[in-house]
Chains A and B, each alone.
Chain A
Amino acid sequence: MMGLFEIAIILLSASMIASAIIAIWFKDLLASIIALAVMSLLLSLYFYILQAPDVAIAEAGVGACLTTAILIITIRSTERMEEGEK
């Protein structure tokens, strides 16, 4: 018998793995940065479910906002597509 807790954990794990695979699979680097941000947001929800609100706030602030901003600034001054794709 699965409760709400287990269902939420299984759904979050599956979505996190899916978004991580998507982040590797995309050739457009902007899209894969967005997929990484989605993974960070889901990870912060995971931390909240596991009774760690401190880590959840830190993960949402650093992982989903600041890392995304820094990576987007970085690909603005380099190339957007991965090598070999024009």
Chain B
Amino acid sequence: MNENGDRMSIIVQTIASILFPLALIFSFYVIMHGHLTPGGGFQGGAIGASAVALLIVAFGAKYVEGKMEEENLSIFESLGGLVFVIVSILGFFLAATFLTNFLVGEPLFGIIPAWGEAPLNSGGVLPILNLAVGMKVIGGLASVVLILAIASKEGEK
């Protein structure tokens, strides 16, 4: 450890601060295109949590905890689960059963794509569920890594 305490060198910090927004954008791309390309909520969430892990490695757990508190991450995760359950129950009330895809066939969200086309507003409720699961996985895995890093830092002293 150098005089900065938990931080790594300035090269690693610069590269991490360049790579972090790119990784978050890629994670959001994988989540939002889950119904068109390979990937989905869990995969994109794992990529976003890896971006947060990179930030923890470069800047130290204390700094990241000051920027994004673990309570906010926990609230983010619970919000994702709530959206999932609410959309599922809406399927019960607006259509046949629990988890029915009630938006498919609608003009705004439920376009059925032709061969070789990939419109973003297709798939009915699948993008919403992808977004919910992605929020859940990003919040959950990032908060686990953050909590473990802080706990191991406190255990060192």
Which residues of A pack against B, CB within 8 Å? 53-54, 56-58, 61-62, 65-66, 69-70, 73-74, 76-77
Contact = CB atoms under 8 A, between A and B. Distances in A.
Contact of A73 (B42, B141, B145): B145
Interface string B116-157: 000000000000000000000000010011001101100110
B58 interface: no
B30 A69 contact: no
Contacts, number: 51
Contact of A61 (B38, B43, B57, B144): B43
A contacts with B: majority SS: helix
Interface residues of B, number: 22
Nearest to B145: A69
B46 A61 contact: yes
A62 B104 CA distance: 32
B43 A57 contact: yes
Nearest to B151: A77
